[in-house]
Amino acid sequence: MATATHFLTPEEAAADGPLESVVVRFAGDSGDGMQLTGGQFTLSTALAGNDLATFPDFPAEIRAPQGTTFGVSAFQINFGSSAIETAGDAPDVLIAMNPAALKTNVADLKPGGLIIADEGEFGARNLAKAGYEANPLEDGSLARWQLINFNISQLTLDAVKPFGLGNKEALRCKNMWTLGLALWMFDRDRAPIVEWVKNKFAKAPELAEANIAALNAGHAYGETAEIGGQLHQHHIDPAPAEPGLYRTVTGAESISIGLVAGAQMAGLKMFFGGYPITPASAILHHLSRLKEYGVTTFQAEDEIAAISSAIGAAYAGSLGVTSSSGPGIALKGEAMGLAIMTELPLVIINSQRGGPSTGLPTKTEQSDLYQAVYGRNGDAPMPVIAARSPADAFDCAIEAVRIATQYMTPVMLLTDGYIANAAEPWKVPDMAGYVPFPVTFHDRPPEEGEAVNPYARDNKLARVWIRPGTPGLTHRIGGIEKNVGTGHIDYAPANHQAMTEIRRDKVLGVADSIPDQEICLGDKGGKLVVVGWGSTFGPIHQAVRRMRKRAVDVSHVHIRYIWPMPNNLGDLLRSYDRIIVPEMNTGQLKTLLRDQYLVDARPVNKVSGQPFKISEIEAAIEQALQ
Amino acid sequence: MNELTKLTPKDFATDQEVRWCPGCGDYAVLKAVQRTMPDLGVKPENIVFVSGIGCSSRFPYYMETYGFHTIHGRAPAFATGVKLANPELDVWIITGDGDALSIGGNHTMHILRRNLDCQILLFNNEIYGLTKGQYSPTSRVGTRSPSTPFGSVDRPASPCAFALGSGARFIARAIDVNKFLPDVLKAAHRHKGAAFVEIFQNCIVYNDDVFAPFTAKENASNQLWLTQGEPMLFAGGTKGITLDREALTLKLVDVVDGNWQAAGVIVHDPKNRAVAHMLIDMPFGAFPMALGVIYDDPRPTFESAVIEQNAMASAGKSADLQLLVAKGQSWQVTKEPHAI
């Protein structure tokens, strides 16, 4: 059986064996606590041993006007008893907390899928706000799906009545009621959620009790309500996984702890300069709580100050790190050039979001690849690596630190809004298995008659790193071109040529320190290869797997090292008849591959702010093979 | 200290050829800084000069200390990173009127309000020199320049008023060629926190003699040098500053036979923020130019607060990586997938 995401009727289930995976989407007003509900459901699902992937999808407005379609916040989770690599295509279950949530999400629901709606919110006012002329719960317009509706609002109010909350506060417990019902539907344990609620409301025990009561009431409702065959319980077996200790991790978390790990492996303190921007801020938030790991965080006055302070800290001997999203990365461009020119180690994280300018701040896209590889004045080469998933981002962060410190260069790590916010189970790594890469500062003063040369290089072309405070090695660096042999200002034509080539060769040389490009699925050579990078890993991998099960000759190659690329990549790509490159942009990696290898890489593009669906990649594969 | 007392101004000069225009005020400031350094008791290797872009920002290349010539307007941000990464370093920022108040105005404001321990020397020549003479944010109304051939129409910024408004705790003024510059630099260095020094610097090529009404020898009587605890006298002690108690403004008085008390001349208290504001705002012409240490009232520095908080937040906690990666709610997968 494929790992497709199907919610089956009892008859179908009986015919096809047990359910393997289910996609559930919680949708409600941005004030309804849908992200929180989704997050807690994710936790209980992980604890039940299922593999899972999530997709939080929320509006840019913090509290858009209540009941409006643009204020709808959704959280999708795909979980199952086999490997899950995407948040799922079409949901099997949609939990709609109001008409706007129903309206904006129902079209995605699988035919025959289940809608659970809070009829208490389907009054005339909310229906009008969502643009419904008639109540969809009553007019038969949802006939393609299974519909169950009951007054969740009222049921919640009844459940929390003993705690004497105001109407507004009582209704806030709706999400917990809904979560209770969902936990019952999928046979999940309530205990960890109860624990979490008690912790969260430790200072307001009555709120904790009310929320727990709502949770229990939702659960009990599932157990006892007689709603016929529609609402019934499903059990999804745990996914087989490598034995070990697991936790859930979001991309923002794994990058933060990966940076801390990288700094420790380099033997450095970390300085993080950041400026609030969606969806990158979460990294600043995480790191600001890790001071015991030698992390100093600095919320700067703007994006430029954020990177500039990080470069200043790098000059002074710390690992400099800055993080932003596209618009902020654009502002940092000039300072990146200075870090390239002065050859200081720096990690720049770009959590990509949609569109130029402000674009789609909370949606995901991979459209900053050109910006990462090419987006600076002058010949300004910089290594770029891209994480494929929240868990992968941990190793990518360590790699970024390694390259930055070993090659004395800024490095850009690309993730995106999807990776930053999404959660997945992560096998806790054994840190003893990582090889440290300690930095050696240059501290030997020059011999009598010799001068300090801050641009003296090792065999990798990395220059020496001299910390201010080191006696006998005072020197000056800056953005003006420096003499190749002395480090003094030098505008001579031949010198600039030589320095430009050194900067280029140093960065290209990083390729010698990275692993060969592997094939994620399939074989070298064949009819078709699907080449991806970043967060499209899940849908590409699933699509290729499904096609291969149908005996289609297709392989999956996923590139982590965007610049420079692995030494074997050209040969590998040329071993296939055809190459397609699915990207959430208009074809940026495609351009890079064509430029580097003169191969006929064909684009498959999606720029809607939503991740690829597996079915979309499957269709692209079929089309490419026609 | 023995080793330090042997240092001379020459020990702080690099072997690099200085590339400012002949006659530029920057030479005088460079000499004054090099002359001041040996008296500060700081080893050259513990000093970092950070600059932005502009004529004055070449300064670090000529100081035999650590130095970082960065990008336009951002020196305060780089300096903040340097100081937070290593608070032991003695950080000097070299900037100009365009660098600090135009492209970098934001960073100047924030380094002052945060109160990072550093010295900020703003070379004010009221012109963009390196880009060949355009008017700057401190140029007076009517300044004719390549970009304002009919004269500039926008009102200039006052560097010291900007600094005071941004929360600076040390504000001083000095003149490039004046003998008191080293004293002002020493006072700035003594101040723990962000010390803001506006240096009137003559651009001989694009804005020559723009400060002559008070810097020229014959106009020295227009200089009001402020000293803590001393009366605010100028013009050879024949004139002084007093407070118009009804209008709550400063006013000029004549001092006869040195009897400043009788004239009601006020005594300089650098901790008096309100008077500092009035001294900075005195319209030149009707009043002399207030020079020296105008305001000096230290308070805790940014980096000391960061260090303290980092230490507090780390107290009793381990920096064990294994603990960090396993943080949060976790679960054990055994060989046999277990059913719930």
Look up residue B105 and give its amino acid.
G
Q: If DSSP codes are grouped into helix, strand and coil, which group holds residue A116?
A: strand
Give the pLDDT of residue A127: 94
- The predicted-structure confidence for B153-189, as pLDDT tens digits, reads as follows 999 999 999 999 999 999 999 999 999 999 999 999 9
- Could you give the CA distance from residue B19 to residue B91 in angstroms, rounded to a whole number? 23
The fraction of chain A above a pLDDT of 70, given in percent, is 95
Are the beta carbons of A542 and A521 closer than 8 angstroms? no
- Domains of chain B and CATH, by start: 4-230+268-302 (3.40.50.970), 231-266 (no CATH)
Taking 70 as the threshold, does the pLDDT of residue A232 lie above it? no
3-state SS of A209-220? HHHHHHHHHHHH
pLDDT tens figures, A321-331: 999 999 999 99
Q: With 80 as the cut, is the pLDDT of residue B286 above it?
A: yes
Q: CB pairs below 8 Å between A and B: how many?
A: 225
What's the predicted TM-score (pTM) here?
0.89
Query: Do A292 and B318 make contact, defined as CB atoms within 8 angstroms?
Result: yes
CB atoms within 10 A of CB B201: 30
Q: What pLDDT shows up at residue A401?
A: 98
Query: Which of B:92-151 have CB within 8 Å of A?
Result: 106-107, 109-110
pLDDT tens-place string over residues A495-517: 999 999 999 999 999 999 999 99
Mean of pLDDT values over A530-538: 95
Per-residue pLDDT band at B335 (split at 50, 70, 90): low
From CA B126, how far away is CA B140, in angstroms rounded? 8
Measured CA to CA, the distance from residue A252 to residue A415 in angstroms comes to: 9
Q: Give the integer Cα–Cα distance in Å for B337 and B340.
A: 10
pLDDT of residue A231: 62
E strand map for A219-344: 244-250, 270-274, 295-299, 319-324
pLDDT reading at A9 higher than 50: no
- Neighboring chain A residues of B83 at a CB cutoff of 8 Å: 312, 316
Residue A190: per-residue pLDDT: 87
Give the tokens for residue B240: 């002084």
Residues in chain A: 626
| Interchain CB contact of A269 with B (< 8 Å) | yes
Instruction: Using the predicted structure, report yes or no on whether residue A243 has a pLDDT greater than 90.
Output: no
Which is nearest to B241 in space by CA: B282, B271, B272, B273?
B282
Amino acid in the structure at residue A106: V
Contact residues for B214 (Cβ-Cβ < 8 A; gap 6+): B220, B222, B223, B284, B288, B289
Task: For strands A51-57 and A72-80, give the pairing.
Answer: antiparallel
| Contact in structure between A258 and A69 (CB atoms under 8 Å) | no
Tell me: cis bond preceding A162? Omega within 30 of 0 counts: no
Q: Which of A601-615, B91-105, B288-302 has the lowest mean pLDDT?
A: A601-615
pLDDT of residue A6: 30
DSSP percent split of chain A into helix, strand, coil, nearest 5 = 40, 20, 40
Complete edge-to-edge strand list for the sheet that includes strand A410-416: A295-299, A270-274, A319-324, A346-352, A410-416, A384-386, A561-563
Q: How confident is the model at residue A488 (pLDDT cuts 50, 70, 90)?
A: very high
3-state secondary structure of A321: strand
**A1 — pLDDT class (breaks 50, 70, 90):** very low
Q: Report the distance separating Cα A333 and Cα A355, nearest Å.
A: 18
pLDDT for A361 equals: 87
**A238: closest CA of chain B, how far (Å):** 6
Question: Nearest by CB to B68, which of A48, A315, A469?
Answer: A315
Q: Calculate the average pLDDT of chain B.
A: 95
Length of chain B measured in residues: 340
Nearest Cβ partner of B80 from A187, A240, A298?
A: A298
Pick B87 or A422 by higher pLDDT: B87
pLDDT band at A226 (very low <50, low <70, confident <90, very high): low
Q: What is the pLDDT of residues A47-75, one digit of tens each?
A: 777 888 888 887 777 677 888 888 898 98
State how far the Cα of B42 lies from the Cα of B6, in Å rounded to an integer.
Answer: 12
**Whole-number pLDDT of residue A14:** 39
Query: Which pLDDT score is estimated for B3?
Result: 53
Least confident of A196-200, A378-382, A511-515, A525-529: A196-200
pLDDT at B4 over 90: no
Report how far residue B35's alpha carbon sits from residue B11's, in angstroms, rounded to the nearest whole number.
10
- pLDDT greater at residue A539 or residue A516: A516
**CB contact at 8 A, B120 and B195:** yes
Query: Does any CB of chain B come closer than 8 Å to the CB of residue A111?
Result: no
CB-based contact, B340 to chain A, within 8 Å: yes
Interface residue A317 vs chain B (CB under 8 A): yes
Give contacts of A310 with chain B, Cβ < 8 Å: 81
Contacts of residue A374, defined as CB under 8 A and 6 or more positions apart, other chains included, come to none
Nearest-CA distance from A8 to chain B in Å? Answer: 21
The distance of A158 to chain B (nearest Cα, Å) reads 30
pLDDT tens digits, A545-595 = 989 999 999 999 999 999 999 999 999 999 999 999 999 999 999 999 999
**Other beta carbons less than 10 A from residue A505's beta carbon:** 12
Whether B80 sits inside 8 A of A431 (CB atoms) is no
Segment A106-134 mean pLDDT: 91
Instruction: Calculate helix-pair angle for A251-266, A392-407, nearest 10 degrees.
Output: 30
Average pLDDT along chain A: 90
CA distance A54 to A389: 11
